[in-house]
Amino acid sequence: MFIFKRYTAELASTSIVHMPQRPYLIHRFLCLTLALCLGLTLTSCGKEEENIQKASPATIISTTAAQTLTLELREEAIGTLEGLVDPTIAAEVAARVVRVLVHPGQQVKKGDPTVQLDATDFSLQRREAQAEVARIQALLENQQRMVERNQALVEKKFLSQNALEDTTTQLAALKQQLAGARSRLASIEHTGSKAQVLSPLDGTVETQIVSPGDFVNVGDPLIRIISNQRLRAHLPYPESIAAKLQPGLKVRLSTPTAPNEVITTIRELKPMIGETNRSVDVIADVVNQPGWQSGASVNGTVILGERPGAVVVPEQSVVLRPAGEVVYVIKDGVAIQHKVKTGVRQSGMVEIVDGLQAGELVAVDGAAFLTDQAKVTVQQAPTSTQQTPADQQNQD
C-alpha cells in the first residue's frame, strides 16, 4: 500500500517538462494496481473456501446391519385364467319359450329353474299315455278273471286244456302291453319335465340367448352359465428356463379380482414352444377360490429352489458409481466404499454375492450422497411396528 501511494505521488508531481517519463510511470501504476487487486481477490477466495470447509457438516444417514436370509429362486410371469366348467345350456325338447327366469349376471344354484318352455303338448301326450295304461289294465283284470274261470272249468272237465292255455297266453300278453304302456308314460313324463330348464351347476349367467316367444329345437342354445369353481391358469415362461420347469413345482398365484394368494403346483407343461411368443405354457389348477374369475389376468411365481445363508442389504444401500455397484460400510463415523457383486433382488432386499460380510454396518438412507472416506452422522431410525423381511421369513 505504501508503494502504491508512493507512485501515485510521483505521478502527480511529474511536470510537463518530464513528459518522456510519464508513460513509463503510468504503466508501472497500472501493473501495481492490477497486482494489488489480484492479491486481494485470492486472499478473499482462500478465506471463503476455508470458511466453507469449516462450516460443512457431516452427512446424516441411517444404517442397518447386513443380514443372512434364505432366498427363493423365483421366476415370474403374467398369464390368464381359463374356466374349465362353462356350459351352454341347450333345449332338450322342441317347444316355444314361455319365460326366461334369469338374466345376465345373476347368480344361480344347481337345480334352479332358468327357462320355461311350453309344456302343453307333453301334458296332452301324458294324458293319452295314462288312458292307454288304464285301458290295458282293465283288459288285464278281465283276462285274469277269465283265466280263473277256465281253470275251474278244466278241473270239472267242462273245458279243454288248450282253451285254458289260450286264455293264459292272452293274460301274459296283456301284462307285457301294460308294462310297455307304463314305460311310454314314464318317457313322456320325463320328456315333459325338460320343458323346465334347470341349472346344472352353481355359477353366474353370462349370456341370455333366447327370449320369450322364440321356438327352439332340440340342441338350440338357451343361456350360458360360467362357473369359477374350477379354473386353469396358463403362464407363459421364456424358453430359456424350460429345462428348469417341471410338474410338481410350487407356484404362487394372484389375480387383480381377488385379494387372496393361491399356492398350488404345476399340473403340466405344454409339450411345444409357442410359435408367436417363444414361450412354454405352464398350467396350474385353481379350485373353489372366491373372487377368482375366468378370463382375468393372473400373476404366477414358480419357486425353482432356495439359496440359504444369502447376505442381503436394503436396495437403498446399493449405489451405482463409476467403479460399479458399491455399498458404504460405516466405521467410526466414516463411510468406507466397498465394491460389491449383487445377485437376487426380492422384497426390497438385494443379495450381495461378493464384497460384504454378514453383520457389517452399511448406510441406507443417504447412501447415494456419500463418497469414500466421507464423515457421517448416524440418525437413529424411529421405532416401528412393521416387521423386517427377516422377521416375516422366520414367521413363515
Segment 24-50, tens digit of pLDDT: 556 666 666 666 666 555 555 554 444
- In this predicted structure, what is the pLDDT of residue 32? 61
Residue 203 lies inside a defined structural domain of this protein: no
- In this predicted structure, what is the pLDDT of residue 152? 85
- In this predicted structure, what is the pLDDT of residue 2? 44
Which letter, b or e, does each residue of 262-290 get, where b requires 16 or more Cβ atoms within 10 Å of its Cβ? Answer: bebebeeeeeeeeeeeebbbbbbbbeebe
In a shared domain, residues 327 and 288: no
Q: Which of 306, 337, 364 is the last residue of a domain?
A: 306
- In this predicted structure, what is the pLDDT of residue 20? 45
In a shared domain, residues 65 and 29: no
Contact 96, 122 (CB under 8 A): no
- In this predicted structure, what is the pLDDT of residue 202? 87
Residue 342 lies inside a defined structural domain of this protein: yes
Q: Which amino acid is at 101?
A: L
* Alpha carbon distances (Å) from 350 to 16, 257, 359, 375, 391: 86, 30, 15, 25, 16
Q: What is the CA radius of gyration of the chain?
A: 49
Angstrom distance (rounded) from CA 51 to CA 100: 89
* Structural domain boundaries enclosing 34: 2-55
Strand, helix or coil for residue 60: strand
- In this predicted structure, what is the pLDDT of residue 139? 92
Closest CA to 170 of 211, 140, 203: 140
Residue 350: is it exposed, middle or buried by C-beta count within 10 angstroms (0-12/13-18/19+)? Answer: buried
- The total of structural domains in the chain comes to 4
- In this predicted structure, what is the pLDDT of residue 27? 61
Q: Which amino acid is at 380?
A: Q
Residue 110 lies inside a defined structural domain of this protein: no
Q: Which of 142, 176, 194 is the last residue of a domain?
A: 194
Q: Can you give the pTM of this predicted structure?
A: 0.56
- Each residue of 174-192: pLDDT tens digit? 999 999 999 999 999 999 9
In a shared domain, residues 49 and 65: no
- In this predicted structure, what is the pLDDT of residue 97? 95
Q: What is the CATH number of the domain that holds 272?
A: 2.40.30.170
- In this predicted structure, what is the pLDDT of residue 40? 57
Where the chain has pLDDT below 50, the residues are: 1-5, 7-21, 47-55, 383-390, 392, 394-396
Angstrom distance (rounded) from CA 345 to CA 253: 19
